[in-house]
Amino acid sequence: MKAKGLTRETILDLATADRNFPEFEVGDAIAVSQWIKEGAKSRIQVFEGDVIAVHKKGISTTFTVRKIGADSVAVERIYPMYSPLIDSIKLVHKGDVRRAKLYYMRDRVGKKARVKERILTKQEKELASQKAEKSAASAAEAAK
């Protein structure tokens, strides 16, 4: 059976509501708050690490977050952008990278496994704060 009037692109863009997450890119450090269900209880768990990849495909958009855990064990998680299990995303700091995918970080240990932090200028900080104010206002308006 063929879908009538819908192309692959329009199908991927269906139900992509704005989640009001901050704009983040590859190399940025983020903290993802995720709902975890344990038996009958639910709680929020925070996973903080560097974004090493973003795959943009409409409703199927995913991003990969990598952190170094206990005993220097690396942990990677792939999150769907539009998953209802993601409660919020907080931008910890911007990263200064030259690649679209940071898979080479998997082979690095110690200080070499860090992403250099991008220092924002005053103008960039003002633009970021204006964007945050606009998104907060639109989120409050949508909640009404």
Domains along the chain with CATH numbers: 11-118 (2.30.30.790)
Residue 116 falls in which region: left (phi positive, over 0), alpha (psi -120 to 50) or beta: beta
Strand (E) or helix (H) holding 129: helix 122-143
Phi, psi of 19 (to 5 degrees): -90, -5
Please report the pLDDT score of residue 59 as a whole number: 85
Which residues in 39-128 belong to E strands, given as ranges?
A: 41-55, 62-68, 74-80, 86-93
DSSP state letter for 21: P
Which range (52-56, 125-129, 139-143) has the least confidence?
139-143
Tell me the average pLDDT of the chain: 87
- Predicted confidence (pLDDT) at residue 139 exceeds the cutoff of 70: no
* pLDDT band at residue 14 under the 50/70/90 scheme: confident
Please report the pLDDT score of residue 144 as a whole number: 67
* pLDDT band at residue 8 under the 50/70/90 scheme: confident
70-91 mean pLDDT: 92
What 3-state class would DSSP assign to 65?
A: strand
Q: Which pLDDT tens digit goes with each residue over 26-39? A: 999 999 999 999 99
Please report the pLDDT score of residue 54 as a whole number: 95
